[in-house]
Amino acid sequence: MKKLSARRRHPLAAVVVLLLALAATGGLYAAFAPAGKAQADETSQSLTIKEGKKLYAVGCASCHGTGGQGSSDGPSLVGVGAAAVDFQVGTGRMPAATSQGAQVPSKKNIYTQAQIDQLAAYIASLGAGPSVPTKQQYGPEGADIAKGGELFRTNCAQCHNFTGKGGALTKGKYAPSLEGVAPKHIYEAMQTGPQNMPSFPDTTMSEKNKKDIIAYLNAVNGSQTENPGGLELGGLGPVTEGLFAWIFGLGALIAVAVWVAARTAKAKKS
């Protein structure tokens, strides 16, 4: 205590106090601000849309236009539906960085689920589109994993690899890995066809088909998936296997050969 009071008059004391005050204010704002918006949860549908519109004006309108009509920087959002918003914002793809490469990557999501729901409600109000799927639609109950595998190999594996490890598309674009992607987002991606991915609407790929596919993915690329043979080596097939065989297989054998052929330590004459 004594020490503190002694330093009170230090020339830098004011600066320190100012910094502490700023940090405290920022921290308090961070703690309370989202909570304040989350209250919108309990209000009526129209209020949700209103809140969503506000969020839209701040985070989305600069590219997609003030009324979601689209601009040179972003496509029209009329009719894309709530599912598209839930996918794009929920996986962190939207809002996109201003300078993007060949495609918009997924990144850390900066909105709460409640905010995403508000945004989705607002976009859905602009024109009819696929709605956010319910847990019953993408949950594992009643799914046929084997049928899902067959569907996955017909519709998905060509871009996303046998077990959803991802793959290359043209000119720097890519089909992302499906590892750790929430079932809901996979369902929404099939429904809405984000970016260059084609959509697989219910008219050509039934709800049951989608459920089966998600169940298959969970079986072969989930956190509990067994790779009986050992290291998966990325699940990418012969390229990584070949590298492994060269580096660890032949590499180990050459190391052994060096030992076999090396001269044994000689007794030093002294």
Partner 1 sequence: MSSQDIPEENLPAEQDHAHGAVGVADEENPFADPGLPPHEHRIQDIDERAARRSERMVALLFTVSMLATIGFIVSYLVIPNDKSIFVFPIGHISAMNFALGLTLGVALFCIGAGAVHWARTLMSDVEVADERHAIAASPEVRAKVHADFKLGAKESALGRRKLIRNTMFGALALVPLSGVMLLGGLGPAPGTKLRHTMWAKGKRLVNMNTNEPLRPEDVAVGSLTFAMPDGLEETQEDFQNEIAKAALMIVRLQPNNIKDKRELDWSHEGIVAFSKICTHVGCPISLYEQQTHHVLCPCHQSTFDLSDGARVIFGPAGHALPQLRIGVDSEGYLQALGDFEEPVGPAFWERG
Partner 2 sequence: MSTAPNEESRSRGKAPAGERIADWADGRLGIYSLAKANMRKIFPDHWSFMLGEVCMYSFIIIILTGVYLTLFFHPSMNEVEYHGSYVPLQGQLMSEAFSSTLHISFDVRGGLLIRQIHHWAALIFLAGMFVHMMRVFFTGAFRKPREINWLFGFLLFVLGMFTGFTGYSLPDDLLSGTGVRFTEGAILSMPIVGTYISMFLFGGEFPGHDFVARFYSIHILLLPGIMLGLMVAHLILVFYHKHTQFAGPGKSEKNVVGMPLLPVYMAKAGGFFFLVFGVIAAIAAVAQINPIWAMGPYRPDQVSTGAQPDWYMGFAEGLVRYMPGWEINFWGHTLVLGVFIPLVLFGLVLAAIAVYPFIESWVTGDKSEHHILDRPRNAPTRTAFGVAWVTVYMVGLVGGGNDLFATHFHLSINAVTWFVRISFFAGPVIAFIVTKRICLGLQRRDHDKVLHGRETGIIKRLPHGEFIEIHEPLSQEQLHTLTSHHQYEPAEIGPTVDENGVERKVTASEKLRVKLSNAYYGEDNQIPKPTVEEYKEITSGHGHH
Q: What residues line the site for partner 2 (CB under 8 A)?
A: 101-102, 145-146, 148-150, 153-154, 157-163, 165-172, 174-175, 216, 219-220, 227-233, 235-246, 248-250, 252-254, 256-258, 260-263
State the minimum distance, in angstroms, from the CB of residue 199 to partner 2.
Answer: 19
Query: What is the Cα–Cα distance from 206 to 214, expressed in whole angstroms?
Result: 13
Query: What is the Cα–Cα distance from 219 to 77, expressed in whole angstroms?
Result: 34
Identify what 226 binds: partner 1, partner 2, none; CB under 5 to 8 Å per kind: partner 1
Which residue do the tokens 């309990």 mark? Answer: 42
Nearer to partner 1, 75 or 92 (CB): 75
Neighbours of 29 (CB within 10 A): 11
Identify what 193 binds: partner 1, partner 2, none; CB under 5 to 8 Å per kind: partner 1
Identify what 201 binds: partner 1, partner 2, none; CB under 5 to 8 Å per kind: partner 1
Identify whether the C-beta of residue 125 lies closer than 8 Å to the C-beta of residue 68: no
In this structure, the chain runs to a length of 270
Which residue do the tokens 């060269």 mark? Answer: 246
Identify what 203 binds: partner 1, partner 2, none; CB under 5 to 8 Å per kind: partner 1
Nearer to partner 1, 48 or 163 (CB): 163
Neighbours of 76 (CB within 10 A): 15
Query: What is the Cα–Cα distance from 194 to 101, expressed in whole angstroms?
Result: 16
Burial 106-131 (b: 16+ CB within 10 A, else e): beeeebeebbbbbbbbbbbbbeebbe
Nearer to partner 1, 116 or 213 (CB): 213
Identify what 250 binds: partner 1, partner 2, none; CB under 5 to 8 Å per kind: partner 2
State the minimum distance, in angstroms, from the CB of residue 53 to partner 2.
Answer: 36
Contacts with partner 1 by CB under 8 A lie at 151, 154-155, 158-159, 167, 169-170, 173, 175, 193, 195-201, 203-206, 209, 224-232, 259-260, 262-267, 269
